[in-house]
Structure 1
Amino acid sequence: MGSLLSYSGLSTKVRAMQSKLIKEVQYQEIAQMPSVTAIVSYLKKQPGFQDLWADLDENSLHRGDIERLLTHTIYQNFAKLYRFANPEQRTFMALYFKRYELAIMKECLRKVFDKGHAELDLSLFKDFFDRHSKLNIEKLANSSTVEEFISNLEGSEYYKPLKKLGNDYTPRIFDYGMALDQYYFANIWSVKEKLFKKRDLEEITKAYGNKFDMLNLQWIYRSKKYYHMTPADIYALLIPVHYRLSRREISALVEAGDEEEFKHILDTTYYKKRFPELVPEKLEAFYNLNLKNILETESRKYPHSVIMLYSYLYHKEHEVDRLTTAIECVRYGLSSAEILKYIAKT
């Protein structure tokens, strides 16, 4: 009963916001739009965008503007839910929010590694991050070297994971991105039992456990197939979490001598039993399918739990990814059939 009372108001709010996400029939309409301007004009009339974009002049927008505005809708909707949530629910939202911080930091790192050639305007997001984050995104965006970027993180939880890189080698942007991901994922797993109880803990464990296992499978396969990395280097990339994949299975996959042996070992895992059609080449697709299925199924079964929040935030980000894909396809003049194929893959 406590969970029902605690989540009933937020569940109603989430359901209302979920109903405003772009539906498949609307993607079909978008795929037939003649221009990017027409897509923005169309979105302005949709329930999920009409309040947020009411004063927007679609004729004056550039490519980067539209992508930032789409991303901003994620933050705006997060802020709506945060204001509505109670302290218990905000605990999960604060943990989830860190993925937004990671995305911003990776954008700033890309600018640094591009030696200032890449444009980076985060002004649209400043108010949101000022309210929810301790990071100074203005200082991070203005960093001109990696050393300055890391120095601007001092005092934050991300300083140590990045500072320790580079003692024995010169890190690439990939290394910094992986260090941030590993820290974030390991942090979620280490604090979940302190922050969550009962049903919420079960749902967090299931959703993130599956996610981390599937990410590790992808990283092992890619590292071996495309980069021919040594087992020692592969181990360094992995999320230190074992949910449905045992240490023995992970070791066997990392140590596999060739792709055929990797496939044979993959065939003995829980995930092959769950998805009989799973093959190494489709690990990314099945990662997305698995996470989507878990979030949709569990949020229907337990609408008065934290998984309902996670599911909405995931689907809102997925909407923005698909709309970004559609806009790029229209910009390059692809046919509506081709656009729908790309949207379906996103």
Structure 2
Amino acid sequence: MTGFLSLGERTAVGAKAHVFFGRLLTDESYWRLLHCDTVREIVEYLKSLPGFAPYLLSVSPEIHRAELEDVLEMLPLRETLTFLGYLTGGQRAYVRCWIDLYEADLLKRTMRSLFSRKQDREQLRQRFALIPKPSFSSETLLSSRSYEEFLEALSGSGYYRVLREPLAKLSDEGGSLFSAETAVDLHVLSALFRAAGKVDSCNGAGILSLVGTMVDLLNVSWLHRSARFFDMHFEEMLNRLLPVRYRLGLAFLRKLSRAESPEAFWDLLRHSCYGGALGESLPKEDFELETRIKQHLWRQARQLFRRSGIGFHSLVAYLFLRRYEIQDLKTIIEDVRYDFDRREALLFMVRPIVPGGERAWRW
């Protein structure tokens, strides 16, 4: 078996992705949502849209903000699962790794539940039920009462190896979940990158470029945050990076880790292969570089989607775009719920919602 999709399978996957793409929020929809005064109004409006109505039919208009965000976060996963029946070989393996991003998020939430003893485990149980053929027993995991039991529940999965050391240290010395959560992220994101490199389709290069760019820029983001918020030796910063590389090699990342100031860091980045993509000016706010990174990935995913023909690349690009759409929705919901200045929401949003990407406000 070569793992190639037949013409009919490629057409089915691509056509379905194009249908879903057509249901993404429009500029008009974003403005309508930004003009809502309550979370209830947001729910009622989303229920009128084809991209959300099937998933929100049973949702009460009085739903709490956090509960609504939980429902929305799982929509991309629900949609992803509808494609599995069309996929084989490398394409199916890639989508399985994409699903693992959601499995990993639930794993981290469960760790936080164990750490704080405040998380609603029934809600986690319902979410785990969406993961097809999980690599561990979610029921055993949810019943764990110590980090030792938690780790044992992961025995046989890839998570066991990467979490053994940070959980043992946490159990012995206490501290935060930072190292454990980082280990989970590195594990699933590295697997996604490797799967993208193995996708055996004519559009594989575009897929690898998108995922590879994400890997590179996540490493840049981590070094930027480490330099600003954590007192780390540069070698420790490098040890916490993703163990895979695309266009930014270890030598360049080492230079970034040794940058003596934000200006020096930015000057290095500006002259790299990603310099122009992230803007010419030094980010002024802490969140600004991460927003620029997401905006660049959004643009690249949209370009990949618009490539000639329809096929597996259409699905990969759509999944990126839908994920960012949900992130933007969460930003809007929180802005409305806490009655923040709607102009502020635009600063955090990934998708430009006016022609040309201009960030001007309009009423």
TM-score normalised over the length of structure 2:
0.84
Aligned to 1:177: 181
Contact 1:28 1:340 (8 Å CA) reproduced: no
Deviates more, 1:1-10 or 1:199-208: 1-10
Code of the residue aligned with 2:186 in structure 1: it is: Q
Paired residue type of 2:243:
P
Amino acid at match of 2:263: E
- Partner letter of residue 320 of structure 1? I
Measure how far apart 1:29 and its partner are: 1.1
Q: Deviations over 1:297-320 (max 9, x none)?
A: 122115434332121112222222
Match of 1:137 in 2: 138
Task: Write the distance in 2 (CA, Å) between the matches of 1:40 and 1:53.
Answer: 8
Give me the whole-angstrom Cα distance separating, in 2, the residues matched to 1:323 and 1:73: 12
1:304 to 310, 314, 319: 310
Measured against aligned partners, the alpha-carbon deviations of 1:34-58 in whole angstroms (never above 9, x if no partner) come to 3212211221121112223234332
The one of 177, 196, 216 equivalent to 1:213 is 216
Question: d(CA) in 1 for partners of 2:245 and 2:75?
Answer: 34
Does 1:328 pair with 2:329?
no
Instruction: Quote the Cα distance in structure 2 between the aligned partners of 1:41 and 1:138.
Output: 35
Counterpart-to-counterpart distance in 2, 1:280 and 1:339:
17
The CA RMSD over aligned residues, in Å, is 2.7
* Corresponding residue pairs, total: 342
Residue among 253, 259, 264 paired with 2:262: 259
CA shift for structure 1 position 345: 7.9
Q: What is the DSSP-based 3-state SS (H/G/I as helix, E as strand, rest coil) of the residue aligned with 2:82?
A: helix
CA 296–278 in structure 1, closer or farther in 2 if over 3 Å, else same: farther
* 3-state secondary structure, aligned to 2:120: coil
Alignment gaps of 5+ in structure 2: 353-363
Is 2:282 aligned against 1:279? yes
* Contact in 1 for aligned 2:210/2:297 (Cα 8 Å): yes
**CA distance, structure 2, for counterparts of residue 27 and residue 249 of structure 1:** 39
| Amino acid corresponding to residue 266 of structure 1 in structure 2 | L
User: 1:332 deviation in Å?
Assistant: 1.3
Q: Does the C-alpha gap of structure 1 residues 172 and 23 become closer, same or farther in structure 2, counting only changes over 3 Å?
A: same
Give distance in 1, aligned partners of 2:281 and 2:295.
11
More helix by share: 1
Matched, 1:9 2:18: no
Instruction: For residue 336 of structure 1, report the CA deviation from its aligned partner.
Output: 4.4
1:186-206 CA-partner distances (Å, limit 9, x unpaired): 33344544x422534312321
Q: 1:11 to 1:42 in 2, by over 3 A?
A: same
Q: Following TM superposition, by how much is the alpha carbon of 1:155 offset from its aligned partner in structure 2, in angstroms?
A: 1.6
2:297 counterpart of 1:295: no
% identical aligned pairs: 24
After superposition, the Cα gap between the structure-2 partners of 1:334 and 1:221, relative to the gap in structure 1 and judged at 3 Å, is: closer
Residue equivalent to 2:150: 149
- What residue ranges of structure 1 are gaps of 5+ in the alignment? none
**2:39 pairs with 1:36:** yes
Aligned partners of 2:244, 2:35: CA distance in 1, in Å?
44
Alignment partners' CA distance in 2, 1:265 and 1:65? 42
| 8 Å CA contact retained: 1:326, 1:342 | no
The CA deviation string for residues 54-95 of structure 1, in whole angstroms up to 9 with x for no partner, is 343323x33343222212322221122223445553222112
Contact 1:68 1:124 in 2 (8 A): no
